[in-house]
Amino acid sequence: MKTRSAAIQGTLALVGLIAAYVTWQRPRETLKAESVVIADASRNSLERIKYEDGFRSVELEKKDRFLVTLAFLPGKRPVFDAGVPGLIEMDAGVDGGTIQVSVRPPEPAPDRTVFANDRADTIWAKLTPFEGSRALGQLSKEKLDEVGLTGSERKLELQISGIVRRFTISRPVQGLIGNYAQDEKTGDVFVIGSSLFNDLDPNSQVLVDRRLHQFKQPEYDAFVVKSGGKEASLVQTGAEIPQTAKVARAATPDKPDELAKNWHDKIWNRLIVTEVLAAGENPKAGPVETQMTIQYSFKGKSKGFIELGIDPMKATWARTENTPGWVAIHQGSEEIIIEGQKQIVGL
């Protein structure tokens, strides 16, 4: 019986040690009361957030609105050679095996600063203040290796009231949950959650604002379509409920124009933004030639606009009051411009 009792006690002790280790390693994001403040920032004192993954960086800055900058780190931009295509294998069909096709890799996008979407506000909230689940103090070299901090190129930089705080963020380590942050000035290490870095992925476009307008459909009651020196004035009623919205020529406001409504629905609801350029940036193919402008108003006051144009390669672009410059529109949208020119302004 003594042997059995000792075995049970040993097992319980081992389980306790494992539980203690797992608890020490795991960031407890849900236990807010046990969090520790790593960098004490408020929504007003936090001025800039920058995250680097070793190759690229993403930077958030709050001006009149949030700006996001996506860039390669110095010396990390891939060398693009349009004259050296690569080979990929493609399925040649049933019983056809595979064939090798010469494909040129896409040219990396230039470093850009554009408007950020609402996710930026969520990230700002997560870092005001910047908190961790626990403070670990200064760790030994062996422990820094174990948690993935040694040699990590992942960096988080916070500018708070003009002072820059910089942290090394642990690289992924198999078997560890969450991340570790080491203050580069003090050497102190903290356990932090991982969700922040899912949003701050420099290779992602999730922070880029792709909305053409911030105002909603019920927030305008008239619009003017201009193209080729001609224009057409239209009014909108009943837009509080999409199913009851009507569009009519301004000269005959009581006579709904279904043709005009169906065309404008394509402009308002179906244009898909595929790329956002920075202010003053032209497409690679060359400058955009504006084909059409739509100006929106509410009770006689301007609400916004959209310009639609074509580049030298016949791709469609748009520019609005909510974009920093031109944005690429999905393939085939040039037909919407042609339709409007013919049926709305009568070119």
Q: Where are the domains of the chain?
A: 36-76+111-199, 217-343
Side chain identity at 316, as an amino acid letter?
T
Residues sharing a CB contact under 8 Å with residue 16, sequence separation 6 or more, in sequence order: none
Pairing of strands 56-62, 66-72: antiparallel
With CA atoms as reference, report the closest residue to 277 among 319, 315, 330. 319
Residues in the chain with pLDDT values less than 70: 1-33, 81-105
Residue 177: the pLDDT is 79
pTM above the 0.95 mark? no
Pick left, alpha or beta for residue 161 (phi over 0 → left; psi -120 to 50 → alpha; otherwise beta): left
For 233-257, how does the pLDDT look when each residue is reduced to its tens digit (9 = 90+)?
Answer: 999 999 999 889 999 999 999 999 9
Residue 44: the pLDDT is 94
Distance CA 343, CA 231 (A): 11
Residue 20: the pLDDT is 47
With CA atoms as reference, report the closest residue to 281 among 338, 319, 239. 319
For 102-135, how does the pLDDT look when each residue is reduced to its tens digit (9 = 90+)?
Answer: 556 678 889 999 999 999 999 999 999 999 999 9
Residue 104: the pLDDT is 62
Residue 30: the pLDDT is 39
Residue 9: the pLDDT is 56
How crowded is residue 211: how many other Cβ atoms within 10 Å of its Cβ? 14
